[in-house]
Amino acid sequence: MALMNYSQASREAIRDAMHADENVWCVGEDLGRGGVFGQYKGLREEFGEQRISDAPISEAAIMGVALGSAMAGSRPVVEMRFSDFALCATDELVNQIAKARYMFGGQCRVPLVSRHPIGIWRSSAAQHSQSLESWYTHIPGLVVACPATPQDNYSMLKAAIACDDPVVYLEHKNIWAMEGEVDRELEYQFGQASTRCRGDDITVVSWSDAANRAESAARRLAEDGISVEVIDLRSLWPWDRTAVIESVRRTGRLLVTHESVQAGGFGAEVVATVAEHAADALQSPVRRLGAPRALISYAPNLEDTVRVTTEMIENSVRDMIAGQTTRANKT
């Protein structure tokens, strides 16, 4: 076990993968200076410019080169700097990388990791703050991952690099400095959720930094005797339907919360799945808590109006519990 922050954990995952397999390499803008958030710091000095490769400012070119390299047998880690910038490489990622294995009848694979830093981060405004994970869950052929802790950012990134399918790897920019214990021996398999808190009164499902806020809310609520089970999905495709359904069947209540826009968000998929497979266990209507369909402002006071906070999650849980109690009393 070692104490690392979220950024260091990802760097160590890459370092270990590169030592273990000479076919692993990284490409993107600013890698030579360690990356925008320091997540590649020291790697170029250790592995050289051929394996930690700086690229010109052309996301489409970066992704296209990585596609060809992966089809030829390497395992590229593609740095997009911000998830918003990755939209410039959408054709390569969605129409080529995601479909290559199918289009070539299984004759080739594209073992590629596309790193997309997501989320609201200290006045970065509308073009640097989006969380677009639900977009990628719509695309057959892509694995979608959202690590929320240093441990997960180590274990999940190693799993992503080893995966034979393309992985869209979404790291939240606001938690690069988050510290935690990291066990290098702990392995991860995509589709496994993490139960961050055990509880009996309500199930809260989340991912990325919103899962950290949900855990904080659960600990506050526990002081008042409200028992909250927090499930961090960790990967959105595949996702752990079994863990969610079994939890809801025990608690009878479901709140899904995420930082991304609520309209069309992945939370709706979770809610629909529970409605299809565990509706008989629900004691109250399910609820979603996400961002409004609004652009993210530069001004901190306006930025805060679209941010899903710990307090919002806590208040939603209290409201759901109180609402059920009121109905029970009326009955």
Each residue of 256-292: pLDDT tens digit?
999 999 999 999 999 999 999 999 999 999 999 999 9
pLDDT tier at 126, thresholds 50, 70, 90? confident
Same fold, 2-182 and 194-330: yes
Q: 87-96, 213-222, 277-286, 318-327 — which is least confidently predicted?
A: 318-327
Q: 155-169, 175-189, 251-265, 314-328 — which is least confidently predicted?
A: 314-328
| pLDDT for the residue numbered 124 | 86
Q: How far is CA 37 from the centre of its chain?
A: 17
Each residue of 164-177: pLDDT tens digit?
999 999 999 999 99
pLDDT tier at 128, thresholds 50, 70, 90? confident
Mean pLDDT over all residues of the chain?
95
Per domain, the residue ranges of the chain are 2-182, 194-330
CA distances from 193 to 203, 232, 283, 322 (A): 13, 6, 24, 28
Nearest to 208 by CA among 200, 218, 196, 198: 196
> Peptide bond before 300: cis, by omega within 30 degrees of 0?
no
Catalytic residues: 128
Half-sphere exposure of residue 184, counting CA atoms within 13 Å on the CB side? 12
CA 27 to CA 25: how far, in whole Å? 7
| pLDDT for the residue numbered 59 | 95
| pLDDT for the residue numbered 328 | 37
Asked if the model's pLDDT at residue 245 lies above 90, the reply is: yes
Mean pLDDT of 226-237: 98
**Tokens standing for 29?**
């803008």
| pLDDT for the residue numbered 123 | 86
Asked if the model's pLDDT at residue 253 lies above 90, the reply is: yes
CATH class of 2-182: alpha beta
User: Which residues, in sequence order, are bridge partners of residue 262?
Assistant: none
If DSSP codes are grouped into helix, strand and coil, which group holds residue 115? strand
Domain 194-330 has CATH 3.30.420.10: no
Beta pairing class for 2-5 and 179-182? antiparallel
Per the listing, tokens 């290098």 go with 184
Asked if the model's pLDDT at residue 14 lies above 90, the reply is: yes
**Tokens standing for 67?**
């596609």
Percent of the chain past pLDDT 70, that is, above it, reads 98
CA 39 to CA 115: how far, in whole Å? 11
| pLDDT for the residue numbered 326 | 41
pLDDT tier at 104, thresholds 50, 70, 90? very high
Each residue of 321-330: pLDDT tens digit?
997 644 433 3
